[in-house]
């Protein structure tokens, strides 16, 4: 019963973190819209690169943690109990009479907690266990808990995530240059369907009729909001809209891919050194993607130009440190505490909230389908949590 209560509490925290992310991303979208529109600073690659590079500052937190905890070499004595004997026997597939002498040596990061314990005797002759107190190991006596990811595994995962995350964001931003905001938003909302399918194939999501209905309701809601909710129409035809639509779909597929990758590789947030992970993401982005500036500049796709005013720098830095540095940290914790599908459908709430902001602050006129679409998006999010 206590485990069930703890599970619900953990999920509730994850949903609260998700709502914080939604609010932050809505505010961030208004900042970016102002930069691209009123400020006439349409530099999606530069902004995405700067945003992701801020993750490098998490390395400072990882280093401070290392200095505080030290290397994983400290051993603390603990009296051996019958449960320890049983756990060691189960881990080695032997009976209780076999004892600890038959423990087979395996690589440390693959050992159950019971196998990584060393045996000794205290001065009174009682057998004790030397328990590794490093935070990278599972709690004492918990043979089912998985060990934390090693530094190499964390860095490797961070580099892979960095490439997928950057490609997804650049694809979404680039799609706006070729297709309408409505089409891009609708197609990007199919990330819920990609997340469900890829997650089911990866073993981190359950594919059933209820979840499929929730995803389809969310997509239909986004369609109603973007296609019929606003009276605003596009003045110019976009002959390459098909290319923008492909980029938007690519962004949705990449999102489904990297969320599933993280959930499958990490599982529980306690296994991940989060500052080290995001630090690796930021460092990989900084070191590997800077040639993109040269390529885009000389091809004329995006000429390199720094912001030319203090207000523009202020908006860009606020967007970077709040809209990305903080919000993505909360997003990752939320995804690990709930599921990739729940987070994906929850982030669809940014669309009706963004439209609500336009209604309140810009006087945008909307029709009935907007409210129907907002209700469908909310219903899809609730349905995924049932």
Residue 94 vs residues 97, 105, 320: alpha-carbon distances, Å: 8, 15, 55
Q: Give me the tens of pLDDT residue by residue for the chain, a chain 386 residues long.
A: 445 446 678 888 999 999 999 888 888 877 877 787 677 787 888 988 999 999 999 999 888 877 877 655 333 444 444 544 554 455 455 444 444 434 333 344 444 444 344 444 444 444 444 444 444 444 444 445 578 889 899 999 999 888 888 888 888 877 776 776 667 777 787 888 888 888 888 888 888 888 888 888 888 888 887 766 555 444 445 666 778 788 888 988 898 888 888 888 888 878 888 899 999 999 999 999 999 999 999 998 889 999 888 888 998 999 899 988 999 999 999 988 988 888 888 888 877 777 777 677 767 667 788 788 888 888 888 887 76
* Residues in contact with 318: Cβ distance below 8 Å, sequence separation at least 6, in sequence order: 31
DSSP codes, 58-99: HHHHHHHHHHHH--TT-EEEEE--HHHHHHHHHHHT--GGG-
pTM for the whole thing? 0.69
- Phi first, then psi: give them for residue 77, nearest 5 degrees: -75, 145
Report the C-alpha gap between 94 and 91 in whole angstroms. Answer: 8
- b/e per residue 205-226 (b: at least 16 CB within 10 A): beeeeebbebbbbbbbbbbbbb
């Amino acid at each position: 019963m206590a485990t069930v209560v703890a599970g619900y509490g953990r999920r509730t925290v994850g949903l609260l973190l998700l709502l914080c992310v939604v609010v932050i991303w809505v505010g961030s979208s208004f900042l970016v819209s102002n930069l691209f529109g009123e400020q006439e600073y349409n530099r999606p690659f530069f902004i995405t690169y700067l945003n992701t590079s801020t993750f490098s500052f998490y390395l400072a937190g990882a280093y401070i943690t290392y200095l505080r905890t030290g290397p994983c070499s400290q051993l603390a004595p603990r009296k051996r109990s019958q449960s320890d004997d049983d756990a060691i026997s189960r881990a080695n597939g032997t009976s209780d009479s076999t004892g600890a002498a038959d423990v087979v040596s395996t690589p440390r990061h693959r050992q159950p907690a019971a196998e990584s314990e060393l045996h000794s005797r205290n001065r009174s002759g009682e057998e004790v266990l030397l328990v590794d107190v490093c935070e990278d190991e599972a709690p004492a006596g918990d043979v089912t808990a998985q060990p934390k990811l090693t530094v190499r595994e964390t860095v490797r995962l961070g580099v892979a995530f960095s490439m997928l995350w950057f490609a997804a964001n650049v694809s979404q931003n680039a799609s706006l240059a070729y297709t309408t905001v409505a089409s891009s938003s609708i197609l990007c909302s199919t990330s819920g369907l990609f997340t469900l399918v890829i997650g089911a194939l990866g073993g981190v999501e359950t594919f059933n009729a209820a979840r499929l209905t929730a995803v389809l309701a969310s997509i239909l809601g986004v369609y109603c909001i973007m296609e019929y909710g606003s009276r605003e129409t596009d003045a110019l035809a976009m002959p390459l809209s098909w290319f923008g639509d492909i980029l938007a779909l690519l962004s949705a597929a990449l999102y489904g891919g990297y969320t599933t990758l993280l959930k499958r590789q990490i599982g529980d947030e306690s296994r991940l050194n989060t500052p080290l992970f995001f630090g690796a993401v930021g460092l990989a982005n900084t070191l590997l993607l800077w040639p993109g500036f040269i390529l885009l500049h000389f091809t004329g796709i995006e000429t390199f130009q720094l912001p030319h005013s203090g207000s523009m720098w202020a908006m860009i830095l606020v967007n970077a440190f709040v809209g990305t540095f903080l919000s993505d940290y909360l997003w990752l914790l939320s995804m690990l505490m709930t599921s990739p599908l729940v987070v994906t459908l929850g982030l669809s709430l940014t669309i009706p909230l963004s439209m609500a902001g336009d209604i309140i602050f810009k006087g945008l006129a909307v029709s009935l389908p907007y409210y129907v679409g907002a209700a469908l998006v909310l219903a899809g999010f609730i349905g995924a949590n049932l």
